[in-house]
Amino acid sequence: MLDLRPLDKNVPIFQQLASDISPVVLVNVFEVAEPDIPALLKAWESDANWMKQQPGYISTQLHRGIAGSTVFLNYAVWESVAHFRAAFTHPDFQNVLEQYPTSAVASPHLFSRLAVPNLCVGP
């Protein structure tokens, strides 16, 4: 089962799920023991394919730290927190989490885009 640890201890993912923001970006940092990397990737693929079928899902991208790192970063774009919440708390998705290796730790967190003049397009 995947061990969930907050990326922000002051505002963990379960507190964020009560928000009403649109659109929203999920950033999820995974840490895993090196021998468990193939199992993590297989579980993430199953996880992502399930999420891809849910209402409000837009896209996802997985990254791996370089130089032998065992840290992975996923970001996924959702139409709203409500859509993500429905998928994340769905009993079928909770079953998908059981496929992750026991060494895997995930730190999911929701973000909204900010506008920074001449650099970033806002919401």
Q: Write the CA distances from 85 to 20, 53, 58, 67, integer angstroms.
A: 10, 14, 14, 34
Q: Phi and psi at residue 111, in whole multiples of 5°?
A: -135, 155
d(C-alpha 20, C-alpha 38), whole Å:
36
Question: Which residue, among 12, 15, 42, 39, has the nearest Cα to 28 in the 3D structure?
Answer: 12
Helical (H) or strand (E) element with 24: strand 24-31
For the chain, the structural domain boundaries read 3-111
d(C-alpha 24, C-alpha 62), whole Å:
17
Q: Please state the pTM of the whole predicted model.
A: 0.92
26-85 pLDDT per residue, tens: 999 999 999 999 999 999 999 999 999 999 999 999 999 999 999 999 999 999 999 999
Q: What is 3-111's CATH number, 3.40.50.1820, 3.40.190.10, 1.20.20.10, 3.30.70.100? A: 3.30.70.100
d(C-alpha 24, C-alpha 4), whole Å:
20
Percentage of the residues of the chain whose pLDDT score is greater than 70: 100
Pairing verdict, β 57-64 and 24-31: unpaired
